Structure 1
């Protein structure tokens, strides 16, 4: 029995565009962290925390570039692109949690966007392959 493509396939196209945007902003955030001062001082209730952001900047640069690549690959509807996108979005989600003390507002926006992307790819991701047949 052939499964039909529903209008929910639009969520996967949204996820692909959102991954492109998220990848671009992650790339920019990584570049800013790499080329900015090497440490960030954060005030906590327990005292002062000094965070070296250059290493995380490189992580964000690589992750942002990979997100851009997989975002473009998602438009093909291939299964490997969807699985790779899910893995990279989960890694980006974790990286944003780690970056939360340094860039709280952007990290919260990125976390929310990553959760919507994950939902779209896991619930409706297989419809893209059917739509491209």
Structure 2
């Protein structure tokens, strides 16, 4: 004879009951585990910050080229040194060269999402626009283009970052 605990099928019934109980608890345990783990944070760059960083990098390279041209080939420009609004070509060459190097560094900083790069990028773009306004007589179309690009840089750096944590 078999006892009620050791009878035929009693082992299977006990295992099935235990398995059914585990299945009931499994979703609750998984849900608790899901609640305990945090999703990996995604740090997506703002599209405007990327745009402004690459644009200020490009404008910086243009200013370096224009600064070197002002230093070494003064006959390249439309007007003579006496007809410039302020300074001479050697001074403008130095100003544009320094401004261009600072803009390239700021553009790289923007690509790495540095806070200082946003602030200095706005200041440098404004100085670049003002400088090209004073240099307008020497190279009018190029100066207007650089002023427009500087305004785009300022806009791109002022636009708030998109919030990816929501």
Q: Could you say which TM-score interval applies, normalised by the shorter chain? A: 0.7 to 0.9
- What is the TM-score of this pair, normalised by structure 2? 0.63
Q: Are 1:12 and 2:46 matched, yes or no?
A: no
| Pair 77,36 (structure 1): closer, same or farther in 2 beyond 3 Å | same
Are the aligned partners of 2:69 and 2:76 in contact in 1 as well (CA < 8 Å)?
no
Aligned-pair RMSD on alpha carbons?
A: 2.7
Are the aligned partners of 1:97 and 1:107 in contact in 2 as well (CA < 8 Å)?
yes
Q: How far off its partner does 1:94 sit?
A: 0.8
Paired with 1:40 and 1:116, the residues of 2 have a C-alpha distance of: 25
Unaligned 5+ runs, structure 1: 44-48
Correspondence for 1:123: 159
| Number of corresponding residues | 118
| Pair 33,88 (structure 1): closer, same or farther in 2 beyond 3 Å | same
Indicate the structure whose relative CO is greater, using CA pairs within 8 Å and at least 6 residues apart.
Answer: 1
Correspondence for 1:101: 137
Are the aligned partners of 2:77 and 2:139 in contact in 1 as well (CA < 8 Å)?
no
- What is the TM-score of this pair, normalised by structure 1? 0.78
Correspondence for 1:71: 107
Compare the two structures and name the one with the higher strand fraction: 1
Structure number with larger C-alpha Rg: 2
